[in-house]
Structure 1
Amino acid sequence: MLRCLIVDDSERFLAAARTLLEPDGISVIGTASTGEQALRLAAELRPDVLLVDIDLGGESGLRLAGQLAAQAGTDPIPIILISLHSEEDYAELIAASPAIGFLPKTALSGSAITETLDGVRGR
């Protein structure tokens, strides 16, 4: 089972994502609503994958992805950016980020996460 940490400022989305992903083979080992929480939990829990919302209210999920990647150093945790907006809205920023991919929140599933991870491993 993949161990996942989800970073999103919406408690409702965090609860819905857990309910959606856990039966689909993704163990949600933690959730964070702020960058500070995400950095702490990522270091403590060392998940297999991080889902990070691009828009964290007053914070930038893109900036947080960079901080998470820097914190992990030579042992990176794959980061998948998520958003209600389409990938085209952020394409250049996503490409410039350390994230391995992007998933719209409406397409979030265990298989979508696994496919994104497998796509990177297959390179």
Structure 2
Amino acid sequence: MLLEADGIAVVGTVSTTAETLRSFRELRPDLVLVDIDLGEENGFDLALRLYEEAGDRPPRVILISTYDEQDFAEMITTSPALAFLSKPRLSGRAIDEILRGADA
């Protein structure tokens, strides 16, 4: 609801890697927000799988977490994700800024 209120069209929400991959194949969203902590699953692995699945049209992935960026700095750097956003900073404006920076 927060992102939609900020003008971001949310086309789906999922909670597991399998659901994410299935939904990604179906919807082909422009952007995927991936939580680093997926319980028993790993958001870094999921980001990589999304890139591998996409072939020549990889999605824009932004990693999100309640943890600080410094806690995962090395893994974030080596990830194919476009950026990291802490959940407290997650907003349509923050996403727009990341996307504008990537397009520059």
TM-score range, shorter chain: over 0.9
Aligned to 2:62: 80
Aligned residue among 82, 91, 97 for 1:109: 91
Partner of 1:9: none
Indicate the percent of aligned positions where both proteins have the same amino acid.
Answer: 54
Deviation at 1:90, TM superposition (A): 0.4
Q: Give the aligned length.
A: 104
* Cα shift at 1:57: 0.2
Is 1:70 aligned to residue 52 of structure 2? Answer: yes
4+ runs deviating over 4 angstroms = none
> CA offset at residue 73 of structure 1?
1.0
Q: Which runs of 5+ in 1 are unaligned?
A: 1-18
Q: Partners in 1 of 2:91 and 2:54 — Cα distance? A: 25
The equivalent position to 1:39 in structure 2, one of 16, 21, 26, is 21
Partner amino acid for 1:22?
Answer: E
Distance between the aligned counterparts of 1:71 and 1:77, measured in 2?
Answer: 10
Deviations 1:12-68 (A, max 9, x none): xxxxxxx10101110110001000000010111011100000010000000000000
Counterpart check, 1:54 vs 2:36: yes
Q: CA RMSD in A?
A: 0.6
Q: Report the TM-score when normalising by structure 1.
A: 0.83
Which is richer in strand? 1
- Please tell me the residue identity of whatever aligns with 2:77: A
Q: Which position in structure 1 is the counterpart of 2:10?
A: 28
Structure 2's unaligned 5+ residue stretches are: none
Q: Does 1:95 align with 2:49?
A: no
